[in-house]
Structure formats: structure tokens, C-alpha cells
């Protein structure tokens, strides 16, 4: 079978009629960001933001039209809404909306958008007292492992906790939290989060197959993040922990700009190159007026399980010194230890599988300090990005 191509997708989409405008979505110029790769198709449909959820049937029809093509393995259709008026700063124009093959959920654009001032902005996640981002300047420093164990530690300390996997390209929460299956949507508008160990969890990993490549461009990533916040029934939470993707790109700016973050935690390993990237992440949050709650040094040292000899594989103490130099609080250090890695890979993180271990207690101490620093969930208004 010949691979599916853009021409075939475009031809299928010409059969999708927008009833409000009386034409097909291709001829009307509503289609953008089409990507076709190895049987996986992704595209955006631009609609008037005033239409909101009324445009959802158009997105659904487009998804079904492409799904019917031979050779199509998955389809991702996203509604985006562009506002009229003066140009906005980057990453401000998108509205939420996401789907994938065989499953659709949530409304399309929403009438309230980031162009509004902070005082006018509605709470993005009603019922959530505080949102804490766990971030790093680079990958490979154990940020997701830290996010999972901090969330579980907060829950063990008595807080009601949710966990959002914001790493669209490399979601890891389903495996690390030992959760399989897909979230349900009883009303067809909002998703029910998955749950394990008493924590509510949402991840793109629940919505696409584990080996499916995410070939989205920036606007599609931002729309998916917004929807996983707005259109998930998180309920009443004390803390929503957000596992951020590494770096300082579109996803990070979306979260920092449009989400009322109580603060951010920076995870780094001790060596200079990791600290340099961690500093970039820290400065990004400072630039957009998000409080940095502190720095955690992960993989801080290694103790041989046989002889107890301590080896500082990635150096040691770099994050503590960096925190001191930057006027940040050093929240603690977590060693490089086989049990931390093994329990995470097995979907039984160390905080729940070995709660009395030294490492689990370290996470709980850090979580207790974070809860103190966010004032029991005081929250704050969403910041604005200023382009100079």
C-alpha cells in the first residue's frame, strides 16, 4: 500500500463543509499546519473565536474524513481561534481543542483568551488552589521522576494532588504512575482524569499510543496544553503539579503566560553544563514574573549498594551553590540510586512503594517545604509576558 500523502488528505478534507460559512474548509482557507508523516496526520482548523464549541462538529467531521483514508494510522485535528485587532505577542492567539484517531473530546475555542488583562482573566483551573511547575533547562536530569515523587509526597503529607504531564512530545506519566487505558468523557465536553495512588493524572500519553510520534507544531502543542487544563475535571485540589517539558520553548511560555502558577521548581544535576541550562529556565520564569520556589539537585551522588562507597559521578553541590548565587532556596538533594529508577520504570514510584526509605523521606521533606512556600495554596493572577 502506497503511503498516504498530503494531496489525499486535502482531497478528503474538501468534503468537510462548514455550515456557518457555506463552503468546504479547504477552499475557505480554514486549514493550516498540515503534517503527514508515516501514516500519522495532524492539522489545525482556524475558526472565529466567537463560535467556540459550535465549531466542534466541523473538527469531528474533518477527523472522520481523514480517518477513512487507507493507510492513515492516527489523526490529530485541533481548533485554533485567531482574534482580530492589533498583533499579539507570540503564543497568545490559540484556543484549546484536541483530538486523535478514534477519540474526540472537549470544546473548541473559548471566548475568554490571553488577550485579556490578568484582572479580567477567568481561573484556568477552577477548584485548584495552587499550580506548581517542575521544570529544567535540559532533558535527562530526572525532572519527571522528581515531579511524580513530589506529587506523591504532597499527597502523603495530606494534600489533595493532581499531576499534569505537559511534555507533549515525550509523555511519561502513564508508565511512571502505573496507569493504562483512556480517560472517559461522560458529558462529551470534559475529560475525567485518570487516577492512581490517590492522585488525579492527565497526560497526552493516555490519548495516543506509546510509540506514536507527536509531529505537532507550536500552536497545536499550546492548544493541547490549554485543553488539558481547562477541559479536564480536576475537581478540588490543593496542588496541581505540572511536569514541564525540558527547555524554554512554546510549551513553557504557554504555561508561564496563561496559567496562574503559584511558582516553579527547577531540577538540575550538579555539573556545570546542566546548571547553565537550569539557569536559563530559572531566568525564563523570572522574566514572566513566576516565583521560583527553589532548586533541587537530582543525581547528587551515588552510594555503592555493596560497600557504601560514595561517588560524586556528576560532581556535587553545584545546584546548592547556584541557588545561593541566584538568591534562590536550595530545596534538597536526591541521590542517583537504582531503586529510584527501578520503581519509576515499574510504575511504583519510591514514595509509595518504599515510603519509609531515606529517599522517600527526602521527597516528603521537599514537598513539605514547597507546601509551606506556596502558603497552603494561595495562588496568584496569571502573569503577562512583556516583549522588549
Q: Are residues 218 and 307 in the same domain?
A: yes
Has residue 112 been placed in a domain?
no
Q: Are residues 67 and 11 in the same domain?
A: yes
Which of 90, 105, 120 terminates a domain? The answer is: 105
Q: Are residues 238 and 275 in the same domain?
A: yes
Has residue 253 been placed in a domain?
yes
Average pLDDT by consecutive 10-residue portion of the chain (388 residues)?
Answer: 84 93 92 79 80 79 92 79 40 35 35 35 73 79 89 95 86 90 82 93 80 62 77 92 76 71 85 61 74 84 67 64 77 82 89 92 93 68 40
Query: Are the C-beta atoms of residues 116 and 123 closer than 8 Å to each other?
Result: no
Q: For residue 109, count CB atoms less than 10 angstroms from its CB and return exposed for 0-12, middle for 13-18, buried for 19 or more.
A: buried
pLDDT of residue 135: 86
Q: For residue 243, count CB atoms less than 10 angstroms from its CB and return exposed for 0-12, middle for 13-18, buried for 19 or more.
A: buried
Q: For the whole model, what pTM was predicted? A: 0.63
Has residue 115 been placed in a domain?
no
CA distance 289 to 266: 15
Q: Are residues 185 and 222 in the same domain?
A: yes
Has residue 183 been placed in a domain?
yes
Q: Are residues 62 and 176 in the same domain?
A: no
CATH of the domain at 290: 3.40.50.300
CA distance 258 to 110: 13
Q: Phi and psi of 228, rounded to 5°?
A: -65, -15
pLDDT of residue 387: 36
Q: For residue 220, count CB atoms less than 10 angstroms from its CB and return exposed for 0-12, middle for 13-18, buried for 19 or more.
A: buried
Q: Are residues 263 and 366 in the same domain?
A: yes
Find the domain containing 26 and state its range.
Answer: 6-105
pLDDT of residue 8: 92
Has residue 179 been placed in a domain?
yes
Question: Shortest CA distance to 351 belongs to which of 167, 155, 172, 160?
Answer: 155
Q: Are residues 214 and 264 in the same domain?
A: yes
Has residue 380 been placed in a domain?
no
DSSP code string of 103-170: EEES-S--S--TTS-TTTPPPSSTTEEEEEEEE-SSSSS-HHHHHHHHHHHHHHTT--EEEEE--SSS
If one counts the domains in the chain, the total is 2
Q: Are residues 99 and 135 in the same domain?
A: no
CATH of the domain at 37: 3.30.300.130
- Label residues 366-382 b or e (16+ Cβ within 10 Å = b): bbbebbebbeebeebeb
pLDDT of residue 139: 64
Lookup: cell for 319: 545546584
Has residue 120 been placed in a domain?
no
Q: Are residues 44 and 144 in the same domain?
A: no
Q: Phi and psi of 11, rounded to 5°?
A: -65, -40
Q: Are residues 363 and 288 in the same domain?
A: yes
According to DSSP, residue 3 is labeled: P
Cα-Cα end-to-end distance for the chain: 52
Has residue 114 been placed in a domain?
no
Q: Are residues 99 and 164 in the same domain?
A: no
Q: Are residues 169 and 71 in the same domain?
A: no
Amino acid at each position: 500500500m502506497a503511503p498516504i500523502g498530503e494531496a489525499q488528505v486535502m482531497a478528503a478534507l474538501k468534503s468537510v463543509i462548514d455550515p456557518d460559512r457555506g463552503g468546504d474548509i479547504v477552499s475557505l482557507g480554514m486549514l493550516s499546519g498540515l503534517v503527514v508523516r508515516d501514516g500519522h496526520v495532524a492539522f489545525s482548523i482556524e475558526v472565529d473565536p466567537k463560535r467556540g464549541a459550535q465549531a466542534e462538529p466541523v473538527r469531528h467531521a474533518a477527523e472522520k474524513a481523514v480517518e477513512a483514508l487507507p493507510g492513515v494510522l492516527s489523526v490529530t485535528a485541533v481548533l485554533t481561534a485567531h482574534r482580530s485587532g492589533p498583533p499579539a505577542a507570540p503564543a497568545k492567539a490559540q484556543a484549546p481543542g484536541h483530538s486523535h484517531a478514534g477519540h474526540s473530546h472537549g470544546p473548541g475555542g473559548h471566548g475568554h483568551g490571553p488577550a485579556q488583562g490578568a484582572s479580567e482573566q477567568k481561573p484556568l483551573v477552577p477548584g485548584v488552589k495552587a499550580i506548581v511547575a517542575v521544570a529544567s533547562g535540559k532533558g535527562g536530569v530526572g525532572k519527571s521522576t522528581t515531579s511524580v515523587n513530589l506529587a506523591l509526597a504532597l499527597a502523603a503529607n495530606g494534600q489533595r494532588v493532581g499531576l499534569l504531564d505537559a511534555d507533549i512530545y515525550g509523555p511519561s506519566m502513564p508508565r511512571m504512575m502505573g496507569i493504562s487505558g483512556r480517560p472517559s468523557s461522560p458529558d462529551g465536553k470534559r475529560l475525567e482524569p485518570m487516577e492512581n495512588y490517590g492522585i488525579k493524572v492527565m497526560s497526552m500519553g493516555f490519548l495516543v499510543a506509546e510509540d506514536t510520534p507527536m509531529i505537532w507544531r507550536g500552536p497545536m502543542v499550546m492548544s493541547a496544553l490549554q485543553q488539558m487544563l481547562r477541559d479536564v475535571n480536576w475537581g478540588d485540589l490543593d496542588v496541581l503539579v505540572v511536569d514541564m517539558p525540558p527547555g524554554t520553548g512554546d510549551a513553557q511560555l504557554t504555561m508561564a503566560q496563561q496559567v496562574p502558577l503559584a511558582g516553579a521548581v527547577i531540577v538540575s544535576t550538579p555539573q556545570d553544563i546542566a546548571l547553565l541550562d537550569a539557569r536559563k529556565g530559572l531566568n525564563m520564569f523570572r522574566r514572566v514574573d513566576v516565583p521560583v520556589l527553589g532548586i533541587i539537585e537530582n543525581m547528587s551522588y551515588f552510594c555503592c549498594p555493596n560497600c557504601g562507597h560514595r561517588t560524586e559521578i556528576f560532581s556535587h553541590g553545584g545546584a546548592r551553590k547556584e541557588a545561593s548565587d541566584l538568591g534562590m532556596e536550595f530545596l534538597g538533594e536526591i541521590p542517583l540510586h537504582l531503586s529510584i529508577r527501578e520503581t519509576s520504570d515499574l510504575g511504583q514510584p519510591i514514595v509509595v512503594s518504599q515510603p519509609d526509605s531515606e529517599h522517600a523521606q527526602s521527597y516528603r521533606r521537599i514537598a513539605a517545604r514547597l507546601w509551606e512556600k506556596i502558603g497552603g495554596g494561595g495562588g496568584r493572577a496569571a502573569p503577562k509576558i512583556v516583549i522588549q
